[in-house]
Amino acid sequence: MSVASLSTFRHRLYEIFRLIHFVCSTSICVLLWLHVPKANKIGRVQVIVATSVWAATYTHRNVLLIYRNFSVSKLCTSILIETVQNNLLVQVSLPRPWKVKPGQYVYLTMIRPGLFSILQRHPFMVASWDSKDHDFQLRIQPRTGFTNRLLARAIIGGTQLSAFVEGPHGHGFDLQDFGTVVLFASGIGIFGHLAYIQELVHDYRHSKTKTRDFLLIWHVDNKYQLDLVWEVVNNILRRDDLPGAATRENTHALSGNGKIDRYLGSSSTGESPGVRPAPHGENAS
């Protein structure tokens, strides 16, 4: 257990570490029961209570996992995988509605594409969600192992697979009480901000936030990273009906309603980064 807890071992063989951790936890409960004499009733009660709490927690998590991923109308959770410039866009379709908040993440388990994928749980940040259909998106930069196998399957074409999703976990930040919000991101770190941007615009339209000025500073490593978020950002901008704010220097064209059209271009547009508009009630992305 001590060897498996080392950072190098845990990062490279996390699933084996998790399995070893579960086996050791179970063994400790059994060994404690055998070690405490029968005459020591208080000690036995303590072992029973501790084991019951551990078993109840583990059972609750798995029962909740089954409940959230299966229903009568829809057999199980399904995901649709697409590629965007060698990155992954994963659309998660749930059989039961979830309430996801910005800053939360989920664990994704898949029956395929690997031999032991069903035994693996991979954490991913929720990038955006659909409040009507209760579906959400994960945007993933493939590395080695599981995510690389997903990319290999998705390159062939849009791939729809069955999956188990556990969560949501984590607690984000409540930005409703801030008049001005400034977010910083570098590269794919923008994924963690998309849900906050979506919520800020939604709350503003429904008069649920004090935020009036919003600035996102995003350092893009290469122009192709724009393709990862341009669709979801443009959908957010279309919902933001604030007057006259622009995200690009060459978007100063008025739309039919007298407002400045705003959009985030892709790698093919050849645009330069935009500038922040004047404050005092105008949002910018």
250 pLDDT band, cuts 50/70/90, is very low
pLDDT in tens, 89-133: 888 888 888 878 888 888 888 776 655 667 778 888 888 777 666
52 pLDDT band, cuts 50/70/90, is very high
Is residue 276 pLDDT above 50, yes or no?
Answer: no
8-33: average pLDDT: 75
230 pLDDT band, cuts 50/70/90, is confident
Tokens of 145: 């192992």
Residue, of 249 and 260, whose pLDDT is higher: 260
Query: In this predicted structure, what is the pLDDT of residue 56?
Result: 92
Paired sense of beta strands 105-110 and 87-93, if any: unpaired
Query: In this predicted structure, what is the pLDDT of residue 116?
Result: 64
Task: Give the least confident one: 145-149, 221-225, 265-269.
Answer: 265-269
Query: In this predicted structure, what is the pLDDT of residue 5?
Result: 60
Global pTM value: 0.69
221 secondary structure, DSSP code: S
> Which amino acid is residue 177, in one-letter code?
D
Inter-residue contact 8 to 17 (CB < 8 Å): no
Q: 77-169 belongs to which homologous superfamily?
A: Translation factors (2.40.30.10)
Task: Give the least confident one: 20-24, 25-29, 141-145, 277-281.
Answer: 277-281
Is residue 285 pLDDT above 50, yes or no?
Answer: no
Is residue 242 pLDDT above 60, yes or no?
Answer: no
Is residue 243 pLDDT above 60, yes or no?
Answer: no
pLDDT in tens, 154-180: 777 667 888 888 888 888 888 888 888
Tokens of 135: 């579906």
SS3 (DSSP) at 222: coil
SS3 (DSSP) at 186: strand
175-187: average pLDDT: 87
Tokens of 281: 């009630």
Mean pLDDT of the chain: 75
The Cα–Cα gap between 210 and 220 comes to 29
Is residue 53 pLDDT above 70, yes or no?
Answer: yes
Query: In this predicted structure, what is the pLDDT of residue 229?
Result: 78
Is residue 151 pLDDT above 50, yes or no?
Answer: yes
